[in-house]
């Protein structure tokens, strides 16, 4: 048995799993943000509620684990930021712990049980509040021991003009400290920022998409620029990784029409030609973080010579 967690800035979701396709959720709890002792106690309460001794805890979490120091960078949960989180949780809970970024767990879920089944190389892209991603090769997460692979949202690579006809695009400041990252224009907040910069109107991302689907001229212009800006960096990721499927998660993936536009643009910009959709809506629509964590725990069990789940 593995107890898996999906931990974000607002909630801790726990579940019992005996295999990745048999997950039994437990009641969610509020994430303690500033008190590490309470954070540990909350996880301990979930373990106690599950009953029985698990083989390990497997955690999908917001934030990135440094592969050299094993310390987590997590702005959303200040009490864990900078900690060697896996080691500290193992010492406190007396159980083996494996941790991965939530986008990595999404990619692992899609590779194992979602749109990536049957593909050797799967790149999972997140178009949510911001932009993220994860890479899975032969069923194994590249960032299994932590790392920054797949973080295509960061780096000053956003085009300074886009669309047809081309329009000037500001280099927006990014939370990572750089300017002109895809994260600043590629997620839901980025789409809103882009629409305001182009047309001087504040609309929620879903309102921009709805207006676009209804034929609104301004929204059509925004979506054209957005697709142009996002597709070139994603095409480069595909050329570099050799991914043959790119499942997309996050709030913007709810628009199949938008994902279809991105797919068509990306397939026109990569070296390998596909006569089928390449960028697709993720299939793990319910609790992909928990599914990915379950797969993460199973894979680590196998590496350690234990039972698969």
Distance CA(35)–CA(83), nearest Å, equals 13
According to the model, what pLDDT value does residue 19 have?
82
Count the alpha carbons within 13 Å of 23 in the hemisphere toward its beta carbon: 28
In the prediction, which pLDDT does 175 show?
Answer: 87
Task: Identify the pLDDT of residue 300.
Answer: 86
- Per residue of the chain (309 residues), what is the pLDDT tens digit? 999 999 999 999 999 998 877 899 999 999 999 999 999 999 999 999 988 889 999 999 999 999 999 999 998 899 999 999 999 999 999 999 999 999 999 999 999 999 999 999 999 999 999 999 999 999 999 998 899 999 999 999 999 999 999 999 999 999 889 999 999 999 999 999 999 999 999 999 999 999 999 999 999 999 999 999 999 999 999 999 999 999 999 999 999 999 999 999 999 999 999 999 999 999 998 899 999 999 999 888 777 765 555
pLDDT of residue 52: 81
Establish whether domains 2-105+286-303 and 117-281 are of one fold: yes
Contact in structure between 301 and 56 (CB atoms under 8 Å) = yes
Axis-axis angle for helices 205-213, 188-199 (nearest 10): 70
Pairing of β 72-73 and β 97-101:
unpaired
The C-alpha atoms of residue 136 and residue 243 are separated, in whole angstroms, by: 9
Question: What local confidence, expressed as pLDDT, does residue 299 receive?
Answer: 87
Instruction: Reduce the DSSP state of residue 254 to 3 states and report it.
Output: helix
Q: Look up the pTM and report it.
A: 0.94
At 134, phi and psi to the nearest 5?
-150, 155
Q: Tell whether omega for the bond before 165 is within 30 degrees of 0, i.e. cis.
A: yes
Contact 234, 263 (CB under 8 A): no
- The domains of the chain are located at 2-105+286-303, 117-281
For position 40, what pLDDT does the model report?
97
CATH fold group of domain 117-281:
Nucleotidyltransferase; domain 5 (3.30.420)
Q: How far apart are CA 245 and CA 278, in angstroms?
A: 5
Buried b (16+ CB within 10 A) or exposed e, 243-260: bbbbbbbbebbebeebbe
251/302 Cα distance (integer angstroms): 33
Q: How many Cβ atoms from other residues are within 10 Å of residue 39's Cβ?
A: 23
Angle at 135 between CA 117 and CA 293, to 5 degrees: 75
Q: Copy the structure tokens of residue 89.
A: 């949780």
Please give the CATH topology (third level) of the domain spanning 2-105+286-303: Nucleotidyltransferase; domain 5 (3.30.420)
């Amino acid at each position: 048995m593995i107890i898996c967690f999906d931990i974000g800035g607002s909630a801790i979701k726990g579940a019992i799993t005996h295999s990745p396709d048999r997950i039994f959720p437990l009641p969610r709890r509020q994430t303690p943000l500033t008190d590490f002792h309470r954070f540990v106690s909350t996880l301990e309460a979930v373990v106690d509620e599950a009953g029985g001794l698990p083989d390990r805890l497997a955690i999908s979490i917001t934030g990135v684990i440094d592969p050299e120091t094993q310390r987590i960078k997590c702005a959303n949960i200040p009490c864990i930021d900078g900690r060697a989180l896996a080691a500290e949780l193992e010492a406190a809970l007396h159980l083996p712990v494996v941790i991965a970024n939530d986008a990595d767990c999404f990619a692992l879920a899609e590779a194992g049980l979602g749109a990536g089944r049957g593909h050797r190389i799967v790149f999972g892209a997140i178009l949510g509040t911001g932009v993220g991603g994860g890479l899975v090769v032969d069923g194994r997460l590249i960032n299994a021991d932590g790392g920054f692979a797949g973080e295509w949202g960061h780096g000053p690579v956003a085009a300074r003009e886009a669309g047809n006809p081309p329009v000037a695009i500001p280099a927006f400041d990014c939370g990572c400290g750089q300017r002109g990252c895809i994260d600043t224009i590629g997620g839901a907040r980025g789409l809103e920022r882009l629409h305001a910069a182009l047309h001087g109107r504040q609309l929620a991302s879903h309102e921009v998409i709805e207006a676009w689907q209804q034929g609104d001229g301004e929204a059509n212009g925004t979506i054209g620029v957005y697709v142009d800006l996002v597709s070139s960096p994603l095409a480069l990721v595909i050329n570099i990784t050799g991914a043959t499927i790119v499942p997309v998660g996050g709030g913007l993936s709810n628009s199949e029409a938008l994902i279809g536009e991105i797919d068509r643009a990306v397939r026109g910009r990569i070296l390998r030609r596909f006569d089928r959709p390449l960028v697709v809506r993720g299939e793990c629509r319910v609790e992909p973080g928990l599914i990915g964590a379950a797969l993460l725990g199973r894979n680590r069990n196998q590496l350690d010579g234990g039972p698969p789940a």
